[in-house]
Amino acid sequence: MYVQHELSWMTRTGHPPEDMEQTALTETEQQLATLLARIVPLPADFDAQSDLIDGLAMESMQVMEFVMEAEDHFDVAIAQDKLADVRNIAQLAVIIEQL
Amino acid sequence: MSLLSKFAAVAQTRAALGDHDPTGVVMERMLSATRALINGRPTLLAGTNNYLGMTMEPAAIKAGQEALAEAGTGTTGSRNANGTHRAHKLLEEELAAFYGYPHAMVFTTGYGANLAVMSALLDAGDAVLLDAHAHASLFDGAKMTRADTYTFRHNDVDSLDKRLRRLGEQAASTLVIVEGLYSVTGDLAPLADIDAVTHAHGAMLLVDEAHSLGVIGEGGRGVVESAGILDTVDFVVGTFSKSLGTVGGFCVSRHAELGLFRYASRPYIFTASPSPATIASTRVALAMLRDQPERRVHLQRLCARLRAGMAQLGLPVNEVPTPVACVPLPNREKALDTWQRLLDNGLYVNVMLPPATPGNEAMLRVSIGAAYTEADVDEIVLKLGEVLD
């Protein structure tokens, strides 16, 4: 699956390949996945629905770092209460697109 | 699912510690301000917050004993009910005078002070912007409010500036919160720059000086003093449980409205006030902190010695010597093993494990105070070197 290949590549390098095409991930999700890969290794089967806490075993400090990375990348402010129900990058992408 | 089922994960984490439970250390008997009997062995304490050695100060002990005899064991009530004795008011006046501010409030713990001040100050529509390495009590305080909560990168003024800009008009009702001296890593906040950026956006600044009161600043007023922002910082919060050697917390401010927080802060209103003995010992310790700069001078010499020793071991050190240093270790297993070996060798330090650590790293925390000698500091460095080789 192309998405899995692409994310595995990002896991190793921390950024996606330059010739990356649009895939099942939305543009915002792809950018979030790139940011996420700088903080935790992404498994081969990672997708937009992968659970950040249970699936990737992210600790709270890592989640905070990820959110700050996203804020700076998208130049937005994301209040913590908006994140209460966020479990994956698909949900985070929706919040960012609504800001 | 039972309410208790969540403790299965806690039990698993506890079981993984085996015999190395750093939360289970018992000080069987205090031998001095710097040593205790642990596991039957005299142990050098390099993991307390007794920065000025006040816990064993005879004058503070005597004042507490006298207050215990004269005013009883406790107040049995909150400050707004029957829990305000004359001594509580005197301590507030003395704290305000020490900082040169019109108002001070005393709380039962430092943790409670942060919750009380934040819950009084912040409401729906406001925002709070915390340094990412701020103490848990500050994040808990934010959760108690209905304010929007954000974080900025540790000690990164540019990160703070960006976030205040993004908040737009809400910046004018934003409280920026930092610590003066960070309790695990021992580094100082760049307070002059943080203060300038905060006020440039119309926000307010709260500085938690829990670990810097009595330690930093010519007069011991903390990093707000050494950074020259006493006239501009909005709120200073601190604790009695470190450099003052007792237990309790306080807030001082140049804003007259602090006097009204008593009527608007649930953690203040619904907590029993500090005991008379605690207040009496704290008043003596505060006077000594203020009048005995030699304690601070001696501590600064020891901090420089500790910093040099850590550097010789090849450990990372902070730019400014402080009583707190950290030893990063590759993982939690190594950290726990090193911590246990130090304890077995008569040295107590703190072990800090993810997820409660800055940068999600495993580390040891080493701290000293004014009651230590140069030989004590050398012993700390020597024992660290033995286990880190």
**pLDDT value of residue A61:** 86
How many pairs of residues across A and B have Cβ atoms under 8 Å apart? 46
Tell me, what CATH number does A46's domain have? 1.10.1200.10
Going by C-alpha positions, the residue among B94, B121, B118 that lies closest to residue B106 is: B94
Residue B176 Cα distances to B26, B122, B356, angstroms:
37, 11, 21
Question: What's the CATH fold of domain B74-291?
Answer: Aspartate Aminotransferase; domain 2 (3.40.640)
**Using one digit for the tens of pLDDT, what is the confidence trace for B115-130?**
999 999 999 999 999 9
ipTM of the complex: 0.85
Per the CB < 8 A criterion, the answer to whether B160 and B198 are in contact is yes
Nearest CB partner across the interface for A79, out of B150, B159, B360: B150
Per-domain boundaries in chain B: 17-46+293-387, 74-291
Output the pLDDT for position A19.
41
**Which residues 337-376 of chain B have a CB within 8 Å of chain A?**
354-355, 357-360
Provide the token pair at B185: 């890593």
Which of B273, B376, B276, B383 is closest to B339 using CA atoms? B383
Q: Cβ contact (<8 Å) for B142 and A80?
A: yes
| Per-residue model confidence as pLDDT tens for chain B (389 residues) | 899 999 998 899 888 888 778 989 999 999 999 999 999 999 999 999 999 999 999 999 999 999 999 999 999 999 999 999 999 999 999 999 999 999 999 999 999 999 999 999 999 999 999 999 999 999 999 999 999 999 999 999 999 999 999 999 999 999 999 999 999 999 999 999 999 999 999 999 999 999 999 999 999 999 999 999 999 999 999 999 999 999 999 999 999 999 999 999 999 999 999 999 999 999 999 999 999 999 999 999 999 999 999 999 999 999 999 999 999 999 989 999 999 999 999 999 999 988 777 777 899 999 999 999 999 999 999 999 999 97
**Residue among B126, B151, B165, B173 with most chain A CBs within 10 A, to mutate:** B151
**A71 — contact with chain B (CB < 8 Å)?**
yes
Chain B residue numbers touching A71 (CB-CB < 8 A): 150, 163, 166
Answer whether A77 touches B (CB < 8 Å): yes
Summarize pLDDT for B171-206 with one digit per residue, the tens: 999 999 999 999 999 999 999 999 999 999 999 999
> What residue numbers bound the domain in which A72 lies?
4-98
Number of domains in chain A: 1
Please state the CATH superfamily assignment of the domain spanning residues B17-46+293-387 in this structure.
Aspartate Aminotransferase, domain 1 (3.90.1150.10)
**Per-residue tens of pLDDT for chain A, all 99 residues:** 223 333 333 343 444 444 444 458 999 999 999 999 999 999 999 999 999 988 888 888 889 999 999 999 999 999 999 998 899 999 999 999 998
pLDDT score recorded for residue A23: 53
- Judging by DSSP bridges, how do beta strands B127-131 and B103-107 pair with one another? unpaired
C-alpha to C-alpha distance for B158 and B248, rounded to whole angstroms: 34
